Amino acid sequence: MNVNEEIGRRRTFAIISHPDAGKTTLTEKLLLFGGQIQVAGAVKSNKIKKTATSDWMEIEKQRGISVTTSVMEFDYEGYKINILDTPGHQDFAEDTFRTLTAVDSVIIVVDSAKGVETQTRKLMAVCRMRNTPVIVYVNKMDREGRDPFELLDELEQELQIAVRPLSWPIDQGARFKGVYNIFEQKLDLFTPNKQRVTEKVAIDINSDELDANIGEQLAEKLRSDLELVDGVYPEFNVEDYLNARVAPVFFGSALNNFGVEELLNCFVKIAPSPRPVQAVERVVNPEDPKFTGFIFKITANIDPNHRSCVAFCKICSGKFVRNTPYRHIRLGKDLRFSSPTQFMAQRKSTIEEAYPGDIIGLPDTGNFKIGDTLTEGENLHFKGLPSFSPEMFKYIENADPMKTKQLAKGIDQLMGEGVAQLFVNQHNGRKLIGTVGQLQFEVIQYRLENEYNAKCRWEPVNLYKACWIESDDAAELENFKKRKYQYMAKDIDGRDVFLADSNYVLQMAQNDFKSIRFHFTSEF
């Protein structure tokens, strides 16, 4: 197969949602259809002592939530599918925002009873910024929920995008009978089965067979619902979906395998193959002959037996070949990778080559930072991997003086992963951790203890916001740093950061020092 054919069969997408809408369960069922797993572990069932395939960190298994993005790939009907399962919990939103820079399309999971929730709105805003095509999967139809038409109205209003249902539920809750697949024009009836893929029957919508299968009343309701759908929503147009103007909607229950296969079959046909990526210098097309890629995520300790770091690289153009030297733009040196890997959650296998759209793992011995670019020599910089200004701060202190080295290494690696942000206070030299949410502090403490054998304790500090500062007027900047000496810090890259202890102090600083620019994301 030539490079263009390989590009054409790639589908790289992220699954995003509010916590608990069923994102990880959906990922797992997609893997089930892809033949990657034979039996799905019901994520939170205690009877089956298994956890979701994509949640591999100890803390994820204990909490039943995803705290880090995991990458999985499989082949399905001739297509090569790369799924990124992201954390839904708002405390880990930054990991999700960064992941969205590495995908070509997105599936949003919505809970049928709760509708659109806060986190879904935020993530959709990021998709809109990048014009990413979106498919919506309305989950948990086997539980009592809202009326489908009401849900569609809410999706349009809250996500600010036109919608078009491509499947339609037959009743809901305990009476849920299955879905009618509008995209393929056939009816799929299911028996609930969490463990294995169930058989389906295809029936013509206008035949008496429909009445025999689901009863006259439901058959009538289904026919009138479908008529209404066709009357209210314009015909589905793939171009509108690819240009992020319309979001196709599917209904189902991921836990019971309802409506997942319909979603997957339609997805592989209509979803975009790898798209051009905007670099600072130029637009990089997947068909460009030379290899380019960027690091969007770094994870330490995927294998608890080996203290190894893996940098996730999204390939943007050309072909990646094992053991070939590639230029690391920031360091200005060539690196070879003898064991690049592809992932099935934490199971990984070494690969010889990879193509645009693929996500590969590169062993990292401290060479990489998030946002680094690799090329065949061209000087390129990919943009769009921001860190956001944290809103919660604590001093991190060593709780076991015998383990100073382990603690320093642990903090270094976890901050390199982008789990949280590290600032060093210039006034007292103390290390300050900034996060988006409280849960991140717990994850850091847990991982330091379990992965690095180091204990830390937290000390509260009253701060409002951290912001990066810069100015073209060196004297003014120096004056500001002297006046605010107690509140100045350096970030992990040695840039100046102002730690404001209240909104009032921040506004006063902005008024008094007009020539200083205050930034609330690290990308400027």
User: By the 8 A CB rule, do 68 and 92 touch?
Assistant: yes
| Strand, coil or helix: 247 | strand
User: By the 8 A CB rule, do 112 and 255 touch?
Assistant: no
Strand order in the sheet with 186-189: 167-170, 178-181, 186-189
| Strand, coil or helix: 508 | helix
Residue 45: pLDDT band (50, 70, 90) is very low
Q: Tens digits of per-residue pLDDT, 463-519?
A: 888 888 999 998 999 999 999 988 999 988 888 999 998 989 999 999 989 889 988
| Strand, coil or helix: 176 | coil
**CA neighbours closer than 13 Å in the CB half-sphere of residue 225:** 22
In the predicted structure, residue 93 carries a pLDDT above the cut 70: no
In the predicted structure, residue 114 carries a pLDDT above the cut 70: yes
Per-chain mean pLDDT for the chain: 80
Crossing angle of helices 260-270/23-33, nearest 10°?
Answer: 80
Q: What value does the mean pLDDT take over residues 365-376?
A: 84
pLDDT value of position 192: 58
The position carrying tokens 């400027």 is: 524
The burial of 482, by beta-carbon neighbours within 10 Å (0-12 exposed, 13-18 middle, 19 or more buried), is given as exposed
pLDDT value of position 121: 81
Q: How far apart are CA 109 and CA 131, in angstroms?
A: 18
In the predicted structure, residue 136 carries a pLDDT above the cut 90: yes
Q: Which amino acid is at 295?
A: I
Length of the chain in residues, anyone?
524
pLDDT value of position 305: 54
Crossing angle of helices 438-452/404-416, nearest 10°?
Answer: 130
Q: CB under 8 Å to 465, separation ≥6 — which residues?
A: 389, 390, 391, 499, 500, 503, 506, 520
* Whether the domain at 277-375 and the domain at 392-519 fall into the same CATH topology: no
Tokens of 291: 């290899």
pLDDT value of position 248: 92
Residue 305 or 205, more confident: 205
Other beta carbons less than 10 A from residue 332's beta carbon: 8
Helices (H), 100-201: 118-130, 148-159
Q: Looking at 35-39, 319-323, 396-400, 465-469, which range is the least confident one?
A: 35-39
Positions of E strands within 252-387: 277-278, 283-284, 292-300, 309-317, 320-321, 326-328, 333-335, 341-344, 347-350, 353-354, 359-364, 373-375
Tell me which CATH code domain 392-519 carries.
Answer: 3.30.70.3280
pLDDT value of position 190: 62
User: By the 8 A CB rule, do 115 and 121 touch?
Assistant: no
Q: How far apart are CA 358 and CA 6, in angstroms?
A: 10
In the predicted structure, residue 198 carries a pLDDT above the cut 80: no
In the predicted structure, residue 345 carries a pLDDT above the cut 80: no
Tokens of 365: 């011995």
Domain spanning 6-270, CATH architecture: 3-Layer(aba) Sandwich (3.40)
Closest by CA to 520, choosing from 503, 511, 508, 92, is 503
Tokens of 380: 């390129």
The burial of 8, by beta-carbon neighbours within 10 Å (0-12 exposed, 13-18 middle, 19 or more buried), is given as middle
User: By the 8 A CB rule, do 390 and 434 touch?
Assistant: yes
Tokens of 161: 């995008």
Q: CB under 8 Å to 466, separation ≥6 — which residues?
A: 389, 390, 393, 421, 423, 434, 489, 497, 498, 499, 500
Radius of gyration of the chain (CA): 25
pLDDT value of position 46: 35
In the predicted structure, residue 457 carries a pLDDT above the cut 70: yes
Q: What value does the mean pLDDT take over residues 360-374?
A: 84
Tokens of 390: 């944290």
The CATH topology of domain 277-375 is Rossmann fold (3.40.50)
Task: Please report, for the chain, the start and end positions of each structural domain, with discontinuous segments joined by +.
Answer: 6-270, 277-375, 392-519
In the predicted structure, residue 39 carries a pLDDT above the cut 70: no
Q: Looking at 64-68, 337-341, 497-501, 515-519, which range is the least confident one?
A: 64-68
Q: Looking at 10-24, 48-62, 177-191, which range is the least confident one?
A: 48-62
Distances (CA, A) of 155 to 99, 164, 166: 23, 10, 15
Q: How far apart are CA 289 and CA 319, in angstroms?
A: 8
Crossing angle of helices 148-159/118-130, nearest 10°?
Answer: 50
Q: In what helix (H) or strand (E) does residue 33 lie, and over which residues does it extend?
A: helix 23-33
- First CA to last CA across the chain, in angstroms? 41
Signed CA dihedral, 117, 119, 125, 130: sign only:
negative
Other beta carbons less than 10 A from residue 204's beta carbon: 11
Closest by CA to 435, choosing from 101, 22, 123, 89, is 89
Q: Tens digits of per-residue pLDDT, 267-325?
A: 899 999 898 888 888 899 999 999 999 988 877 655 555 556 788 899 999 999 998 99
Residue 91: pLDDT band (50, 70, 90) is very low
In the predicted structure, residue 143 carries a pLDDT above the cut 80: yes
Other beta carbons less than 10 A from residue 365's beta carbon: 8
Tokens of 287: 């068909």
Closest by CA to 351, choosing from 368, 359, 417, 305, is 359
